[in-house]
Structure 1
């Protein structure tokens, strides 16, 4: 069995939810799993497999993600690794793969790290969980992209069967 670490960056909690779900699935199969935020990540040397997950906020992954990758580049290149991204854009069928998701493509253009496995998941749209500024920005973006704009909307776009398949792929790394 493998020793995993899943390091995440989550703004509104959906990336953390995916992280915890993955950890549960991996543990059920007998793997050891540690989860940590980017800021609290321990040394990676003791782990066989490293998974990074990050959400999109205002069209970008957090700058701390790129800082972490730069600092850990040498270790990441020596491990089995994966990266997953969580965004509302991934709710759309034409943008729900690593190859078609613009945020994943922007990520790959911005970093020299090439994980063994890439994945994207739809996020959660919960207007009541956002501050006023974020709510208005996201509603405007949703209006432009023909998504839901009702201020009471709370829709989870994460495809949990896809997350299950991803967990299986992680075990096979």
Structure 2
């Protein structure tokens, strides 16, 4: 019998959900029992899972507040099972910032939170200016300008490395 696995995601524009669905697909291909939840809809008992995977997007340099709240509130329960955390952010599009120990947002996240998951991963997200509200678009263009990224308002680039997502899914099976 396979482990009971939960995956809780927090997304703004949908890329973290897309990655979560791909992870679910990979695990199910390997006969793993995975339930997928939005951070807004999770109402299960954490300890009813053998493994819990948490995935969060970044907005303006900060992981989703509800995810941070969830981790802080449930740290003692999370520490009793195997856990994984993945971050989805555009900084990870750069090869020198696409590892958990080199991604500034992931490093900052774990400096400010009292939790150590069993495994951590970081994925590059998707840039889609047409999807953003006006203020978000302007702010993200400014951030991209500062980091020498694309600023054309028609830009739509999916930076996510899907082979990396597949590999992470396979690692989660062995967790």
Q: Give your verdict on TM over 0.5.
A: yes
Counting matched residue pairs gives 173
In 2, the alpha carbon distance for the partners of 1:43 and 1:10 equals 22
Q: Do residues 111 (structure 1) and 113 (structure 2) align?
A: yes
Moved more, 32-41 or 151-160: 32-41
- Cα separation, 2, equivalents of 1:39 and 1:128: 25
- TM, length-normalised to structure 2: 0.97
Matched residue, 2:3: 2
1:72-83 paired onto structure 2 within 5 Å: 72-83=74-85
For structure 1, which segment, 13-22 or 35-44, has the greater mean C-alpha deviation from structure 2 after superposition? Answer: 35-44
Moved over 3 A (4+): none
The correspondence of residues 16-165 of structure 1 with structure 2, limited to 5 A, is: 16-41=17-42, 42-165=44-167
CA distance in 2 between partners of 1:110 and 1:40 (Å): 25
Separation of aligned partners in 2, 1:70 and 1:88: 25
Which structure 2 segments of 5+ residues have no match? none
| RMSD between aligned residues | 0.8
SS at match of 1:108: helix
**How far did residue 44 of structure 1 move?**
1.3
SS at match of 1:137: helix
Measured in 2, the distance between the counterparts of 1:94 and 1:121 equals 13
Normalising by structure 1, we get a TM-score of 0.98
Q: Deviations over 1:47-68 (max 9, x none)?
A: 1100000000011012211210
Three-state SS of the structure 2 residue aligned to 1:36 is strand
The alpha carbon displacement at 1:46 in A equals 1.5
Q: Deviations over 1:144-163 (max 9, x none)?
A: 11101111100000000000
* 1:75 CA drift (Å): 1.2
